[in-house]
């Protein structure tokens, strides 16, 4: 059994995409799948330190219509990326142009409409030469190449996304997870599709090897393992997870996701080769090695650990990771006690730690949190890898509109473009949309 229960709107998502697939590939798809993006309630930069995270799935994500091919070729097209040179476009569908491009095993790029790769013998080196415009395809192609090693064949895929790309809401993991679930289902591989934790690890591996980003497990696990009405408490060392009920509207609360408009890229940040994300991960590994522990997760006595680290940067990174793990445990405890109204202080403490100790926040994120708190929000923090993307803000529902207006006013006062807003409630994880 590979599909979570259908959710309202599944049909509205599946039907137009199936029609677009039929137009693009001149045959109907065998099915349509969907994988959501996520926000993370708390537990940032803890996953690759073997720590704890508490994300939930958003009601937005990446959908894919798919049909098998018997020639071992993977052909990918996207309603957002096809025909757009060098940049991703958010939201609304940019329809693929001419649908009759070549797709034989020897062709790689069929002009404006997509990309075809023969999966046999395909490896990470082949992706390295791809242009910026083709880069998005490394995510699904990487997943398909790894699944090929497990006996899964080729397919034609058409993607659609209602998740802003680069907003720190895990659009890349959604792309990977939609691909993984679709391919496993198409080839009747319930053994792989039903092991969602295993599939999350495969998608993570694809991102490491084919995209070159040393991400943790959180985003892929959130997309595949989350359920409606719950946050996912995940122990990234053991892979064990638990569903923690999270009823925000029932507690009179609104969680706003604020897209700051600054694009986030895990390969970027700190404006140096390797990017800020990879550098943070390396710093944590160095700190753990100096402290003689397998991972920063294992630091029990923070004060003693800090006194043993000479490098102030490593001290700050350690301080964040150790305290953030405690914040995840405390937050999960509050949720289990039904005390959602108390979450705000945890969120803000996490943000300050990410800003001052981990140094991954960015000016628009700090501005958002400050404006929200001034307007009476209960708390807020940046989410995801940092250096751009989104902020979450928790407010009493009666105050949410005022908080939103105050954030917009703060952006305007600085001459910034208006931020985007989305109200988040825990939605279902990845599933087949059609046939249901």
213 or 309, CB closer to ligand GAF?
213
Region near ligand GAF per CB under 6 A, out of 42-50, 60-68, 139-147, 406-414: 42-50
Element (H, E) at 233: strand 230-235
Catalytic member of 10, 160, 162, 219: 219
Contact status: 343 vs ligand GAF (CB under 6 A): no
> Which position among 119, 180, 215, 328 is part of the footprint of ligand GAF (CB under 6 A)?
215
Should residue 358 be labelled a site residue for ligand GAF when binding is judged by CB under 6 A?
no
Report the interhelical angle of 343-356 vs 363-374 (nearest 10°). Answer: 150
CB-neighbour burial class of residue 121 (10 A; exposed 0-12, middle 13-18, buried 19+): exposed
**Exposed (0-12), middle (13-18) or buried (19+): which is 385, by Cβ within 10 Å?**
buried
218 touches ligand GAF by CB under 6 A: yes
Nearer to ligand GAF, 101 or 216 (CB): 216
Query: Do strands 431-434 and 31-40 pair parallel, antiparallel, or not at all (unpaired)?
Result: antiparallel
199 in Cβ contact with 430 (< 8 Å):
no
Q: Which part of the chain contacts ligand GAF (CB under 6 A), choosing from 80-88, 139-147, 211-219, 295-303?
A: 211-219
Residue 353 near residue 320, CB atoms below 8 Å = yes
Q: Is 407 near ligand GAF (CB under 6 A)?
A: no
| 48 touches ligand GAF (CB under 6 A) | yes
Size of the site for ligand GAF (CB under 6 A): 12
Contact between 45 and ligand GAF (CB under 6 A)? yes
Helix and strand numbers (H, E) in the chain are: 13, 13
**Site for ligand GAF contains 216 (CB under 6 A):** yes
Give the pairing type, strands 420-423 and 253-259: antiparallel
Cis upstream peptide for 435 (omega within 30°): yes
- Which of residues 13, 14, 31, 44 is near ligand GAF by CB under 6 A? 44
Does residue 384 bind ligand GAF (CB under 6 A)?
yes
Pick between residue 43 and residue 83 the one whose CB is nearest to ligand GAF: 43
Which residue in 429, 37, 56 sits closest to 224, CA to CA?
429
DSSP per-residue codes, 17-69: HHHHHHHHHSS--SEEEEEEEEEESS--S-GGGT-EE-EEEEEEEEEEEEEEE
Pairing state between β 73-78 and 154-161: parallel
Cβ proximity to ligand GAF, 122 vs 387, nearer residue: 387
Active-site residue 219, yes or no? yes
What track of x and - describes contact with ligand GAF for positions 248 through 277 (by CB under 6 A)?
------------------x-----------
CB of 57 to ligand GAF, least distance (A): 14
Whether residue 234 contacts residue 395, with contact meaning beta carbons closer than 8 Å, is answered with no
Token couple for 240: 């064990």
Single out the segment in contact with ligand GAF by CB under 6 A; choices: 96-104, 128-136, 215-223, 252-260.
215-223
Range in contact with ligand GAF (rule: CB under 6 A) among 80-88, 104-112, 210-218, 410-418: 210-218
Nearer to ligand GAF, 198 or 376 (CB): 198
* Contacts to ligand GAF from residues 184-203, by CB under 6 A: none
Q: Which is nearer to ligand GAF, 80 or 223 (CB)?
A: 223
Q: Which of 170, 215, 274, 175 is nearest to 47 (CA)?
A: 215
Residues that bind ligand GAF (CB under 6 A): 44-45, 47-48, 170, 215-216, 218-219, 266, 384-385
Annotated catalytic sites, by residue?
219
């Amino acid at each position: 059994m590979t599909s979570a229960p259908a959710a309202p709107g599944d049909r509205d998502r599946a039907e137009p995409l199936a029609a677009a697939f039929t137009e693009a590939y001149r045959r109907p798809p065998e099915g349509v799948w969907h994988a959501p993006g996520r926000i993370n309630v708390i537990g940032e930069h803890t996953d690759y330190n073997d720590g704890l995270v508490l994300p939930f799935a958003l009601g937005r994500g990446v959908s894919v219509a798919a049909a098998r091919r018997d020639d071992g070729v993977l052909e990918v097209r996207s309603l957002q990326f096809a025909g757009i040179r060098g940049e991703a476009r958010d939201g609304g569908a940019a329809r693929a142009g001419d649908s009759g491009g070549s797709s034989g095993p020897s062709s790689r790029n069929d002009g404006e409409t997509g990309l075809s790769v023969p999966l046999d013998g395909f490896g990470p080196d082949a992706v390295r030469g791809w242009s910026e415009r083709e880069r998005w395809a490394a995510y699904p192609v990487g997943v398909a190449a790894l699944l090929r090693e497990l006996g899964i064949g080729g397919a034609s895929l058409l993607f659609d996304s209602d998740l802003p790309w680069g907003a720190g809401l895990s659009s890349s993991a959604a792309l990977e997870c939609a691909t993984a679930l679709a391919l496993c289902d198409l080839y009747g591989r319930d053994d792989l599709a039903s092991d969602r934790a295993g599939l999350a690890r495969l998608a993570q591996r694809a991102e490491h090897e084919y995209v070159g980003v040393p991400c943790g497990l959180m985003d892929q696990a959130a997309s595949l393992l989350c359920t409606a009405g719950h946050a996912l408490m995940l122990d990234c060392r053991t892979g064990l997870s638990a569903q923690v009920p999270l009823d925000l509207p029932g507690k009179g609360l609104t969680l706003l996701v604020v897209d700051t408009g600054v694009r986030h890229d895990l390969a970027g940040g700190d404006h140096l080769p390797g990017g800020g994300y990879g550098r943070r991960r390396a710093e944590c590994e160095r700190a753990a090695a100096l402290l003689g522990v397998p991972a920063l997760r294992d630091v029990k006595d923070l004060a003693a650990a800090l006194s043993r680290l000479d490098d102030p940067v490593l001290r700050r990174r350690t301080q964040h990771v150790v305290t953030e793990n405690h914040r995840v445990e405390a937050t999960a405890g509050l949720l289990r006690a039904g005390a959602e109204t108390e979450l705000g202080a945890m969120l803000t403490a996490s943000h300050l730690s990410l800003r001052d100790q981990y140094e991954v926040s960015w000016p628009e994120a700090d501005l958002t949190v400050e404006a929200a708190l001034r307007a009476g929000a209960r708390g807020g923090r940046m989410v995801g890898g940092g250096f751009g993307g989104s902020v979450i803000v928790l407010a009493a529902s009666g105050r949410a509109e005022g908080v939103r207006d105050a954030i917009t006013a703060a952006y305007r006062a600085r001459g910034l473009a208006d931020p985007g807003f989305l109200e988040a409630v825990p939605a279902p994880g990845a599933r087949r949309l059609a046939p249901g």
